[in-house]
Amino acid sequence: MPNRHLTVVVTRRLPEVVETRMRELFDARLSDDDTPMSRDALTAALADADVLVPSLTDRIDAGLLAQAGPRLKLIANYGAGVDHIDVATARARGIQVSNTPGVMTDDTADMVMALILAVTRRLPEGMAQMQTGDWPGWSPTAFLGSRLGGKRLGILGMGRIGQAVARRAAAFGCQVHYHNRRRLRPDVEQALEATWWESLDQMVARVDILSVNCPHTPGTFHLMNARRLALMKKTAVVVNTSRGEVIDENALTRMLRAGDLAGAGLDVYERGREVNPRLRALPNVVLLPHMGSATVEGRIEMGEKVIINIKTFADGHRPPDLIVPAML
């Protein structure tokens, strides 16, 4: 199938340089605006496309895939996470699925540290006072936070991003602890100066800061549930830049309101855009609009990976970032 005849439907606006390159290589049908496609529009796209380029706002479920046309052979996801795509059904229908792993590692790890600092040093509270013009001047006891040096950081999920967080946290003088499905190799563990905990319960009970960096799977849904959150110190802080479903958001909100946790920094939410309104009112909570990987460099690199996956597929080869069942 010659590349120039390959119909590629992109569901969201991408960086201009990425869209330009797609137009050069394929019959690219790009989005006119940056709003998520409706289900009807997705259905139409699946019927006409050789390749669909969705993002995390597009729910590609079994019902939608059942309406896919015979031409659709690749879903080249713009992003690393694929929990919004029914990969098993896609594969059963002969549709390959690829993603863009590794691109957002450093950007997301930077955001983890930004959230940790924002919560522990009470940055939003200070900014709010300055913006309202109510600052009375410096005081020895105003906006007292806590230093990172010497704190125990627990990392839940020690993949690429978790390890990048560990390296950054060590530079701040944190003691790094982690829980992962598989223990790291001894040389990696030693290089990161990280302590492995087989028991998540035991780790969360001892850390001062918990960073959630694991994917959302059936096994990680509400991994941080009410019981496990209750094991944490009252002075502890929770940061999540991974997937909102990993934390029971209602339980987290109750504990923050009751003073059973010191604070939280969240970039993802259990119900997507529907953020618990009680979280918004808490001064010890920093909420971001899923911007952990939002850098110009990262978004362009994601687009380049998508293009490579599509072009490799079009040339008759296996996309380099193909999702296989063992990866899920």
**CATH number for the domain harbouring residue 227:** 3.40.50.720
Same domain, 126 and 212: yes
Q: Are residues 240 and 113 in the same domain?
A: yes
pLDDT in the model for residue 263 = 98
Q: Assign 1 a pLDDT band (cuts: 50, 70, 90).
A: very low
- Flag whether pLDDT at 217 surpasses 90: no
For 239, phi and psi rounded to 5 degrees? -125, 135
pLDDT band for position 3 (50/70/90)? very low
pLDDT at 5: 77
* DSSP summary character for residue 8: E
Instruction: Provide the domain limits for residue 198.
Output: 105-287
Shared-domain flag, residues 273 and 311: no
Q: How does residue 33 score in pLDDT terms, banded at 50, 70 and 90?
A: confident
Question: Buried b / exposed e across 234-268, counting CB within 10 Å, b at 16+?
Answer: eebbbbbbbbbbbbbbebbbbbbeeeebbbbbbbb
Q: Hey, what are 131's tokens? A: 């913006």
Asked if residue 127 and residue 69 are part of one domain, the reply reads: no
Q: Rounded to whole angstroms, how far apart are CA atoms 4 and 158? A: 41
Give me the number of domains the chain comprises: 2
Look at the block and give the residue holding tokens 């602890």.
Answer: 177
Q: How confident is the model at residue 326 (pLDDT cuts 50, 70, 90)?
A: low
Is 156 in the same domain as 125? yes
Answer yes or no: is pLDDT of 328 > 80. no
pTM above 0.85, yes or no: yes
pLDDT single digits (tens) 117-152 = 999 999 999 999 999 999 999 999 999 999 999 999
148 and 79 within one domain: no
pLDDT for the residue numbered 108: 97
Contacts of residue 102, Cβ cutoff 8 Å, sequence gap at least 6: 80, 160
Q: What is the pLDDT averaged over residues 58-85?
A: 95
Q: How confident is the model at residue 41, as a pLDDT?
A: 93
Q: Indicate if 283 and 300 belong to the same structural domain.
A: no
pLDDT category, 2, cuts 50, 70, 90? Answer: very low
